[in-house]
Amino acid sequence: MSIILRNYSFRFLFMKTLTKLFLLIGVAFISLGFELKSRTPFWIISNQTSVIPDGLLLAYESNNGHSHYGKCLKLKLENKLNKKIDYAIPAGFQLQAADSTYQNLVVTENVFVSILPKQKLEIPIFAMCTEPNDAAPGSEVLSYKPITKANSHLSELCELIAQEKWHNSEAQQAVWCLVDDRSLNRINGFDTAVVRKLQSKIAKLTNKKMPAPPTKTDYQRNYYANSSSMKIKVGGSYSFYFSSPKSVQIAMFNTQNVLVRELYKNEQEAAGRKTINYAFDASVYTEPVYYMRMFVNGEKRLETKMNLN
């Protein structure tokens, strides 16, 4: 609907007295569009919803260098037509990996793209894994195809994630909790307020009882538990310099590139030179190999392979 309103805005641009009125109408219609919550992508050509036309090329593939709860999906578009095309993907849209040993994904943002005539675009998209027991892509490029829309519960959760911009490990654990019928105790992280909100959301969707907050010494659930609660402390450090503030996360992944635990998070890491220490309890996380990864503004910058044997 927003596309149609843009055409109206151009048509009446010279009428200054009506400009504010149409902007207000635009906001109202955009809000209505979100309320409709369509779960399938749609194309708009000359303001008419359409099937994918001949001359428009579309592909989904993995976006290397991002975690499976960040901008891990890439949309590739090529418009061979002489018309502009608008494309929308709603939060809750699901995709299946071409290789069944890899994770399927669900989109966790509302995407709106305009493709000009003869234009090529590559758009990174926020998505999350819906198969916690399958591998995430590494350096290889993996293709995806659309599948059946998410059920109402998963769609509702994805809409919340999109609205709140919770593109983080806490929300990924909430998705796993819902699709894999996990305990609400499995939703944990450094952002304790978001954790409680996600637990409350899943509790309402599944009729499960809200868990009590973790104790000060509960290492597995309390990410601020004192390091003395670790029985076998294993860790390392990363040193870096930033010229401006950045979002920084350090997380550990297993050999399938699946998140195991976040070890450090600061959404506003100050500029300057510094060293960040990280550690985990090897009596709890007992796989022989883990990968420590540092993400800066959502992109992987540093990685360390850790052998525990």
Tell me, yes or no, whether 173 and 263 share the same domain.
no
Amino acid at 128: M
Residues contacting residue 165 through CB under 8 Å, at least 6 positions apart: none
Residue-wise pLDDT for 144-185, tens only, equals 998 877 899 999 999 999 999 999 999 999 999 999 999 999
Q: Residue 43 has what pLDDT?
A: 59
Instruction: Provide the H-helix boundaries in the chain.
Output: 2-11, 16-36, 152-164, 169-179, 192-206
pLDDT digits (tens, 9 = 90+) for 260-282: 999 999 999 999 999 999 999 99
Say which CATH number the domain at 238 has: 2.60.40.2560
Domain that holds residue 277: 227-307
Name the one residue in this structure whose structure tokens are 């819902």: 178
Residues ≥6 apart with Cβ < 8 Å to 20: none
Domain contains 213: no
Contact 97, 144 (CB under 8 A): yes
Do 60 and 16 lie in a common domain?
no
Chain mean position to CA 108: 5
Whether residues 22 and 83 fall in one domain? no
State whether 23 and 62 are in the same domain: no
Do 8 and 124 reside in the same domain of the chain? no
Residue 164 lies in a domain: yes
Residues 252 and 280 in one domain: yes
Residue 151: strand, helix, or coil: coil
Give the percent of the chain with pLDDT over 90. 72
Query: Same structural domain for residues 60 and 141?
Result: yes
Are 257 and 294 contained in the same domain?
Answer: yes
**Do 24 and 120 sit in the same domain of this protein?**
no
What counts of helices (H) and strands (E) characterise the chain? 5, 17
User: Do 201 and 177 belong to one domain?
Assistant: yes
Q: Which residues of the chain have pLDDT under 70?
A: 1-53
Q: Which residue has the tokens 């209505």?
A: 32
